[in-house]
Structure 1
């Protein structure tokens, strides 16, 4: 019965948690589209393919395009690996095939705009990261970037140029996808802290991020939501 209730909530956007979808005092809530991206991303990262089917079905019903959903699931591999991302894509194609068999044609949506630039991918990725964090990427490398400079190059060239530069999803969309994955896999609180700060930098509000935590509680579980709540509170306090 519980799974049935969760399934109906994912399809029709119903609330199972007051923190997830209620109208907040500040009037700032995630859009239904954003809520669906969070559910899809978190369930893909967790590997809950049964609930993922339901979440994808609900996202399509609510108006997300095939390319928007596909873009989110593809992005996940950079944070939780190819196996989870590919299983998500396989689940997605299964949902699309089943809907097509029922006579439903889903909207493909916008394709990524080709990038024409004389700048290197490293420089483009660096510029995007600076825009996201609001901080210049200058000075000597420290920490993991100094220890393994190769991964710092991969990060800028691939994640922030090859992926974040694609305009099917906005920076805010991509950051919601990212924090959904990081919260779901757990044990990566420093990265979650960084990306929650980026969420605020790209226009998401504290109220929307509190709602995000409620959505994680709804789709993944209390343990993951509680851990994210602690990190979010730390981030909000540090910005006062």
Structure 2
């Protein structure tokens, strides 16, 4: 059996081979033509700093730091990914406003279920970028039709908790009459 075949291998041998193969992988980022590792690291650092700044703009700095601190105890790479890739790159793309991105994020989190903490954080961000409470609750009502009522209820209750904390309760009822154009 060669060193890359995992078929009839003992578990400890599997981990040894896997570790050897993973050790051979480069952890460097893609370098532009003529670039150096230090340039790539500078780009990564700038992306991280830009992402962290974007997170601070959307949410409470103390909560962001607490969230990232909790991740750093267990999986700092996940915190780095969230800051650099999601907030430092993906959320900076043109085509959607920050408010659109927050509404989409809330709907996806509600659909996934079990994301109440993230829903509360993104509700604060959505309010901060000017989304009215009725728009958020209407979007979560829509979730009930496609992801199910329990997921919608859990998300609405997480949003309610945030609305209560910031003094936005009660949320005025949205008219259920015909759409106005």
Q: TM-score interval w.r.t. the shorter chain?
A: 0.5 to 0.7
1:158 is aligned to 2:158? no
The superposition leaves residues 64-90 of structure 1 with CA deviations (integer Å, 9 ceiling, x where unpaired) of xxxxxxxxxxxxxxxxxxxxxxxxxxx
**What's 1:173 paired with?**
100
**What's 1:133 paired with?**
59
1:236 is aligned to 2:169? no
1:182 is aligned to 2:104? no
**What's 2:3 paired with?**
none
Which protein, 1 or 2, shows the higher relative CO under an 8 Å CA cutoff with sep ≥ 6?
Answer: 1
Residue 173 of structure 1, CA deviation: 0.8
CA distance in 1, matches of 2:129, 2:66: 24
CA distance in 2, matches of 1:146, 1:118: 21
The superposition leaves residues 199-233 of structure 1 with CA deviations (integer Å, 9 ceiling, x where unpaired) of 11111111111211211123322111111111111
Q: How does 1:75-224 map to 2 (within 5 A)?
A: 120-135=46-61, 142-224=69-151
- Rg larger in structure: 2
- TM-score norm. by structure 1 comes to 0.47
CA distance in 2, matches of 1:204, 1:219: 22
Matched-pair contact (CA < 8 Å) for 2:55–2:87: yes
Residue 135 of structure 1, CA deviation: 2.5
CA distance in 1, matches of 2:88, 2:142: 29
Residue 154 of structure 1, CA deviation: 1.0
The superposition leaves residues 122-144 of structure 1 with CA deviations (integer Å, 9 ceiling, x where unpaired) of 11111111111143666895212
CA distance in 2, matches of 1:216, 1:139: 30
The superposition leaves residues 96-135 of structure 1 with CA deviations (integer Å, 9 ceiling, x where unpaired) of xxxxxxxxxxxxxxxxxxxxx9971011111111111143
**What's 2:32 paired with?**
none
CA distance in 2, matches of 1:151, 1:118: 15
Task: Please tell me the root mean square deviation across aligned C-alpha atoms, in Å.
Answer: 2.4
Matched-pair contact (CA < 8 Å) for 1:134–1:201: no
Flag structure 1 segments of 5+ consecutive residues without an equivalent.
Answer: 1-116
Aligned residue-pair number: 124
CA distance in 2, matches of 1:171, 1:140: 21
* Secondary structure of 2:92's aligned partner: coil
